[in-house]
Copies of this chain bind each other. A is one copy, B any other.
Amino acid sequence: MGRTPPHPEVSQFDLQQVLEALVDPVRRSIVTQLDAADEDVKCGGFDMAVSKSTATHHFKVLREAGLIRQYYVGTSRMNALRRAEMDEAFPGLLDALTTRQATGR
């Protein structure tokens, strides 16, 4: 478990930090793709046109804000949306950003 990066608890979630994570369109796309997926997604499994190092940075920002949980399966780093915890901290926020209407704009 030594490779599992640190994650904030729900009580540590900060609206400002969450909004700064979600204002970036690439990071918001990661969240909407995770929300639409039926399962957790490995870092290489997202549709995004950025370099690997840029992607790693985006995942880190999302993880530190509490939006995603990262863990390893073998050599793959997996990503899970912390939907329930985010809904507990900021009810309706992810709903508003992942609806068809919102993502279509």
Report the separation of the CA atoms of residues A13 and B13 in the bound assembly, to the nearest whole angstrom. Answer: 28
Report the separation of the CA atoms of residues A22 and B22 in the bound assembly, to the nearest whole angstrom. Answer: 11
Interface residue A73 (Cβ < 8 Å from any Cβ of B): no
Interface residue A4 (Cβ < 8 Å from any Cβ of B): no
Mostly helix, strand, loop or mixed at chain A's interface? Answer: helix
With both chains docked as a complex, state the minimum distance between the C-beta of A82 and any C-beta of chain B, in angstroms.
16
The interface bits of chain A over 91-105 (1 if a CB of B lies within 8 angstroms of the residue's CB, else 0) are: 111011101011001
- Assuming the contacts A16-B25, A23-B20, asked whether A101 and B96 have C-beta atoms less than 8 A apart, the reply is no
Task: Mark A residues whose CB is within 8 Å of B.
Answer: 13-16, 19-20, 22-23, 25, 28, 89-93, 95-97, 99, 101-102, 105
